[in-house]
Structure formats: C-alpha cells, structure tokens
Amino acid sequence: MAETSPMREAIGIIELSSIASGFKTADTMLKSGNVELLLSRTICSGKYMVLVTGSTGAVERAVGAGRETADYTLIDDFIIPNVHDKVVPAIRGMSSVRDTEALGILESFSVASLIEAADASVKAADVDLIEIRLAMALGGKAFVTMCGSLDDVNAAIDAGAEIIAEKGLLVNKVVIPNPREEVYREIL
C-alpha cells in the first residue's frame, strides 16, 4: 500500500559542515516519517543541506532524527510550521508574479535564516516571492527576490531583514521602485 503525499504545512532544514554526513542525514530524515524531500545537495564552501516538507509532526520527527545523525557536523537547523504557500514554489523557482511596481531583495550569509525571513516577509505583506536562491554559486550565501506594491515590498523587506539581522547574518536589503524591465528579465 503506497503512502499518501505529505501535506505541505511545514518545512524543515538541516545545514551541515560535511557532505558525507549530509547524505546520511538525508537518508535518516526520509526514513523517519512521511516527508517530501525538497532539496538535498552540496552548497558552496563545502557544506550540505537537506530541506523537507510535510505535516508539522512529520517534519519535527525528520529534523530531530537528522539533528541526531548530523552530530558535530550540524551548522544550523529550523522548522517553520504553517509555512506560507508561496515559499516552496519560490525555492523550486516556479513562482508567479502579479505586481511589479517594486522589487525587493534580501541577502543573507545563511540559508536557514533566509528561508525564515522569506516566510516572515510574505506573511507580513501582500508580495509575490519570485525566487529563493540557496547557496549555489553564491559563496554559501542566500537571497530572495520579491515584488508587489512599493508599500508592501518595503513592509515585507523590513519584516524579513529583522529576522536575519537578529542572527547577525544580514548582508543587505534593497527595494527598487519601478525597476526597469531588463532587471526583471535577469531574475525571471
């Protein structure tokens, strides 16, 4: 009997300092319960990340099991229960855009803090997440792009930047009113 697809009500991530430990941790997390693997890959500066989604309980079990397996190679981890439904498509690079009056960009030294900030941003204001880019060809950094009305983008950027800044990991935050079409073409 096949398992049903997990609900996407939570996401969890484990960031590790070891690639070998990353593969083992991913396997452990997947065996711990009914979660869906969103990403499991090496990231810049020789790290590894595992990102899963599913019901809150299943994600909590998976991250807990992953934390134990990762042991001393654990860099960071988190769980976001009730993740906004725009976050997962943005991680996959499959978002839709409605309003392009303003473009906002948040940049972080940490994958985990950036995902938390993206969730906080989209919950704080009516913005569309364009893309969440995680550590590949970025020297281990991460960034999110979002668009909407100028007021909404400013509110979203401020809410997300606060999350990252509290951890001391904010690289930059930018809001561009009425960006040129050529700038959007580079993102979309």
CATH number of the domain where residue 15 is located: 3.30.70.1710
The answer to whether residue 3 sits within a structural domain is no
Q: What mean pLDDT is predicted for residues 73-84? A: 90
Rounded to the nearest integer, the mean pLDDT of the chain is 88
Other C-beta atoms closer than 10 Å to the C-beta of 160 total 30
The answer to whether residue 109 sits within a structural domain is yes
Residue % of the chain over a pLDDT of 90 = 62
For residue 91, give its domain range.
87-187
Q: What mean pLDDT is predicted for residues 78-104? A: 83
Same-domain pairing of 43 and 57: yes
Residue 154 has pLDDT above 80, yes or no: yes
With the C-alpha atoms ordered 72, 75, 76, 77, is the resulting torsion angle positive or negative? negative
Same-domain pairing of 161 and 94: yes
Tell me how many domains the chain contains. 2
Other C-beta atoms closer than 10 Å to the C-beta of 47 total 20
* Whole-number pLDDT of residue 148: 94
The answer to whether residue 5 sits within a structural domain is no
Same-domain pairing of 173 and 97: yes
Same-domain pairing of 48 and 126: no
Give the tens place of pLDDT for each residue, 22-75.
999 999 999 998 999 998 988 877 889 999 999 999 999 999 999 999 999 998
Same-domain pairing of 104 and 137: yes
* Half-sphere exposure in the Cβ direction for 93 (13 Å, CA): 6
Same-domain pairing of 103 and 73: no
Same-domain pairing of 73 and 93: no
Q: What mean pLDDT is predicted for residues 110-121? A: 90
Look-up of token digits 């960034």:
143
What 8-state DSSP symbol labels residue 32? T
* Whole-number pLDDT of residue 92: 77
Same-domain pairing of 116 and 155: yes
Separation of first and last alpha carbons in the chain: 40
The answer to whether residue 65 sits within a structural domain is yes
> What distance lies between CA 94 and its chain's CA centroid?
14
Give the tens place of pLDDT for each residue, 11-37.
999 999 999 999 999 999 999 989 999
What 8-state DSSP symbol labels residue 18? -
* Whole-number pLDDT of residue 3: 42
> Edge-to-edge, what's the strand order for the sheet holding 10-16?
35-43, 47-54, 10-16, 74-81
